[in-house]
Structure 1
Amino acid sequence: MQQYILHNDQLVPAGQSILTAQNRAFRYGDGLFESMRLLGGKLMFAQQHADRLKAGMKALKIDGSALMDEYFLKSKVTELARRNKLEGNARFRLSVYRDGEGLYTPESNKAAYVLESASISEEGYELNKKGLIVDVYDEMTKPVNKLSNVKTSSSLLYVMAGIFKKQRRLDEAFILNQSGFLCESISSNIFVVYNGQLFTPALSEGCVSGIMRGVVMGLAKSNDIAVTEAQINPEVLREAEEVFITNAIGGIRWVMGYGRKRYFNEISKLLSVKLNEMNVG
C-alpha cells in the first residue's frame, strides 16, 4: 500500500490533500504524465521517459523541462520506492502540471509535479497467458494534432472508452482517429500482423508516442522482423493473423479475439522473450 507520495520534492502522506480547487490540472487538464516501471530495482527506459517528458512539456509550453531529466526521474523514483518499502518491482506515475492560477490563459508556466507509486507482483514483463478480448470504440474519435502524441492529462476520450469496455465486459478497447483509422487502445499502442508483416499506426495517425512501442519496434527490427508504421483500416482486424498491444508497465499483451475472429500469438511471444532477455542484468 502506498504510504507516501512526492509533491514538488516533498514527501507527503498519501492521504493528505495537496491540490486546491484552482489547480490547473483539475480545472483544465493542463498537464501531462509518465507511467514508469521499476523492475528489479531499476527504472526501465529512464532516458526514453525523460526525453518524452521533455518533448511533452515543450509542446505544452510548461517551463522546467531541462530539470526533469534522467537523473531526476531515477533519483525521485528511488527515493519514493525506498520510503514506501518497494523492494524491486513497482509502477510509478509522474504527473506534471502547470502551476499557478489563471483562467484559460495561465498566469505562469511554472511546472509542479506529483509522483505516485504502487507495487507490482510480476518480476518481469510477463506475456499474458489468456489472450485479450477487444472491440473498437467508435462513439468518439481522437483528433490528430501537435498534441496527439503527448500523454496529456486531458483524458476524457479514454475514460469514455473505458466505460464502453466495462459495459461490454471487454479486456480492452481500440480507439480510432478522426479519419476512422486505428489509433491506439485505452492505455497502449497497437501492433497488427497482416499477411505475415508487422504493422503499427504511425505517429501521424495521432497515437501516443509510447515508450514500449519504440522498444518493441527496435526489438522487432533487430530480430529481422520488419515493422511498417502505417495508416491501418480497422477492417484489417477481421483478417489479421495476430494482434498485440504494448505499454511501459505491462510490456507486450496479446489479443485473442475480436468479435468472432481469433488470433495467434507467435510474434508477440517471441518479442516478449526478447524483451525480458534485454532486461536481464
Structure 2
Amino acid sequence: MINFNGTIMSHDSSLLTQNRAFLYGDAVFETVKTVNSKILFLEDHYFRLMSSMRIIRMEIPMNFTMEYFEEQILTLAKAKNIENSARARITVYRNNGGYYLPENNTVSFLINVEALNNSLYSIDQKEYKVDLYTDFYVTKQLLSSIKNTNKLINITASIFAKENGLDNCLLLNDSKNVIEAIQGNIFMLTGNKLITPPVSEGCLNGVMRKQILALAQKIENLEVVEELISPFDLQKADELFITNVIKGIQPITRYRKKEFAFNLSTILVQKLNESISSN
C-alpha cells in the first residue's frame, strides 16, 4: 500500500513506486522531430543516446539498434496519425531494484509523441527577451553534456523567467560563463565571428548545435569558433540565438537594454531547411 496525496491506497504498478527514473532520476532521454515519416538527424540522436547510456553505465540491449530506435518511434507516430510532423521523446531508465546502488544495469524505455504544427523550420520574428539565471549554476562535467532526467536547474530557471516576464534565461556554469539557454544551445555573433561555448564548459552536446556549426562553417567570410562567452560579451554582440531540434533557431531580440538583429539566424534557417529537403 502507498499514501498518495493523503489517501492510503493499494498499488498494482511499479512504474512509479519502484521506477528508478522517478525515484533517483536514473534515466536519459532524447527528443526528436519527425518530418514526413522521417526522424531528422537520426544518426546523431541515436549515437548520443548510446553514449549517454554508456556514460552512466547502463546495459545497452542487443536489439537496440538505430533501425529499432527509428521503428519504435515512427510506429507510435503512425498509430496516432501524426508522423508527418511530430515531436517524440524516448526515455531510457534503469530497471527496478536497489537504492542508490542498482541491482542490475538492464533498462526499459518509454516513448511518447505529440503533433507539431509545422514541419520545416521558420524564424519567429516577435520580441524574445532573455536575462541571466544566477540562482544555480551548471557544473563543468561530462554529466552536464548529456540529456538526463535531472533538470531542476532548467525547471527553476523556467519559473524565474515566467515570474520576470522573460521568454528564456541564459544559464551559467560554475566559472560564471554563459553556456546555454533553458532548452537549447546559445550562439553569439560579434562582427564576422560566430561563437558557441565548447561542450567542456558544461553545455549540452546538442544535435542542432552540431548542424548549425556545420552549416555556418560553409558561409563565406564567417569565422566559426567554440570559445568562452562571458556575461559581458553579450552586451557587445550583434546577434544572439538559441538552437534546438524542435524549434531550430530562436533569435534573441533583447538582453536587458540591448537589442539584436536576426540576419544570420534567417540565413541559417534557410540553409537548414535546404539541407533537410535535399536528404
> Is the pair's TM-score, using the shorter chain for normalization, greater than 0.5?
yes
Q: TM-score, normalised by structure 1?
A: 0.91
**Deviation (angstroms), 1:192:** 0.2
Q: Which residue of 2 aligns with 1:27?
A: 23
Q: Which residue of 1 aligns with 2:178?
A: 182
In the alignment, is the contact (CA less than 8 A) between 1:174 and 1:182 conserved in 2?
yes
CA separation in 1, counterparts of 2:79 and 2:39? 16
Name the amino acid aligned to 2:236. E
Question: Which runs of 5 or more residues in structure 2 are unaligned?
Answer: 1-12
In the alignment, is the contact (CA less than 8 A) between 2:85 and 2:115 conserved in 1?
yes
Instruction: Provide Cα deviations, 1:3-44, integer angstroms capped at 9, x if missing partner.
Output: xxxxxxxxxxxxxx7713111110111111101000122110
Number of residue equivalences: 265
| Partner-residue secondary structure (3-state), 2:108 | strand
Q: Residues 272 and 140 (structure 1 numbering): CA distance in 2 closer, same or farther, change over 3 Å?
A: same
Instruction: Provide Cα deviations, 1:192-236, integer angstroms capped at 9, x if missing partner.
Output: 011321000111110010000000000001223321101110111
CA separation in 2, counterparts of 1:211 and 1:53? 11
1:259 equivalenced with 2:250 (yes/no): no
CA separation in 1, counterparts of 2:236 and 2:17? 49
**Deviation (angstroms), 1:65:** 5.9
Q: Post-superposition, which runs of at least 4 consecutive aligned residues in structure 1 deviate over 6 A?
A: none
| Partner-residue secondary structure (3-state), 1:212 | helix
Name the amino acid aligned to 1:32. V
CA separation in 2, counterparts of 1:18 and 1:46? 31
1:241 equivalenced with 2:222 (yes/no): no
CA separation in 1, counterparts of 2:33 and 2:26? 24
Name the amino acid aligned to 1:219. L
CA separation in 1, counterparts of 2:24 and 2:41? 30
Q: Which residue of 2 aligns with 1:206?
A: 202
Q: Which residue of 2 aligns with 1:228?
A: 225
CA separation in 1, counterparts of 2:61 and 2:206? 19
Name the amino acid aligned to 1:221. Q
Instruction: Provide Cα deviations, 1:66-97, integer angstroms capped at 9, x if missing partner.
Output: 64332122101110011111140000011111
In the alignment, is the contact (CA less than 8 A) between 2:29 and 2:149 conserved in 1?
yes
**Deviation (angstroms), 1:114:** 0.5
| Partner-residue secondary structure (3-state), 2:32 | strand
Name the amino acid aligned to 1:232. I
Name the amino acid aligned to 1:223. I
In the alignment, is the contact (CA less than 8 A) between 1:90 and 1:118 conserved in 2?
yes
CA separation in 2, counterparts of 1:273 and 1:18? 47
| Partner-residue secondary structure (3-state), 1:279 | helix
Match of 1:113 among 109, 124, 141: 109
Question: Which runs of 5 or more residues in structure 1 are unaligned?
Answer: 1-16
CA separation in 2, counterparts of 1:140 and 1:37? 30
Name the amino acid aligned to 2:160. F
Q: TM-score, normalised by structure 2?
A: 0.92
**Deviation (angstroms), 1:117:** 0.4
CA separation in 2, counterparts of 1:171 and 1:51? 31
Q: What is the 5 A alignment of 1:1-281?
A: 19-64=15-60, 67-224=63-220, 225-281=222-278
In the alignment, is the contact (CA less than 8 A) between 1:54 and 1:66 conserved in 2?
no
Give the aligned CA root-mean-square deviation in angstroms: 1.3
CA separation in 1, counterparts of 2:67 and 2:83? 20
Name the amino acid aligned to 2:185. N
CA separation in 2, counterparts of 1:143 and 1:101? 29
Q: Residues 200 and 65 (structure 1 numbering): CA distance in 2 closer, same or farther, change over 3 Å?
A: farther
CA separation in 1, counterparts of 2:188 and 2:61? 34
Q: Could you tell me the percent identity over the aligned residues? A: 34
Name the amino acid aligned to 1:172. N
Name the amino acid aligned to 2:265. S
CA separation in 2, counterparts of 1:214 and 1:168? 31
Instruction: Provide Cα deviations, 1:161-189, integer angstroms capped at 9, x if missing partner.
Output: 11111111211111000110011111100
Name the amino acid aligned to 2:27. G
